[in-house]
């Protein structure tokens, strides 16, 4: 049996309705409008309410055990997905299936854009039908060594 090569699938999230507003920062420097992150950085998915699912990632700006912090806590980056009520398991299974089944190496988990740069109306894109969007200010990449 041939050994299967590992691939690193990239996960994409965008929280703005108008593509013209995808400029990086949302309401604060740590709240982003979009994020492209390797699936290998996904460390946990957990419900935070009946209609929210939080995805936690190894931080893109912090390292494990940063020695310039008192507690050496490694900060996680997070994305909070709005979902249909109590559909956490189904959405998590859908995300895992999309990562494992990706043939392109890119999985658009949630893209809230409904107006592109040309001003055309487009459909928002979600990896699972129970995802309804990204919660407000919910793509968070912690500041370095925070």
- Higher-confidence position of 74 and 85: 85
Q: Between residues 120 and 62, which one has the greater pLDDT?
A: 120
Q: Judge contact between 58 and 76, C-beta under 8 A.
A: yes
Task: Domain ranges for the chain, please list them.
Answer: 12-140
Average pLDDT in the 54-73 region?
69
pTM over 0.75: yes
- Coil, helix or strand for 124? coil
Please give the share of the chain, as a percent, with pLDDT higher than 90: 62
Give the residue, 11 or 62, on which the prediction is more confident.
11
131 φψ region: left (φ > 0), alpha (ψ -120 to 50), beta (else): beta
Question: In terms of Cα–Cα distance, which of 80, 27, 78, 84 is closest to 57?
Answer: 78
* Chain segment 36-45, per-residue pLDDT in tens: 999 999 999 9
């Amino acid at each position: 049996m041939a050994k299967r090569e590992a691939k690193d699938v990239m996960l994409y999230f965008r929280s703005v309705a108008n593509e013209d507003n995808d400029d990086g920062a949302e309401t604060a420097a740590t709240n982003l409008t979009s994020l492209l992150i390797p699936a290998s950085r996904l460390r946990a998915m957990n419900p935070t309410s009946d209609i929210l699912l939080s995805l936690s990632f190894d931080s893109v700006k912090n390292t494990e055990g940063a020695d310039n912090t008192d507690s050496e806590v490694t900060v996680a980056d997070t994305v909070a997905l709005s979902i249909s009520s109590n559909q956490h398991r189904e959405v998590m299974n859908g995300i895992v299936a999309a990562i494992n089944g990706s043939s392109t190496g890119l999985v658009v988990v949630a893209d809230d854009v409904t107006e592109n740069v040309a001003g055309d109306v487009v459909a928002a894109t979600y990896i699972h039908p129970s995802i309804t969007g990204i919660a407000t200010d919910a793509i968070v990449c912690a500041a370095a060594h925070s």
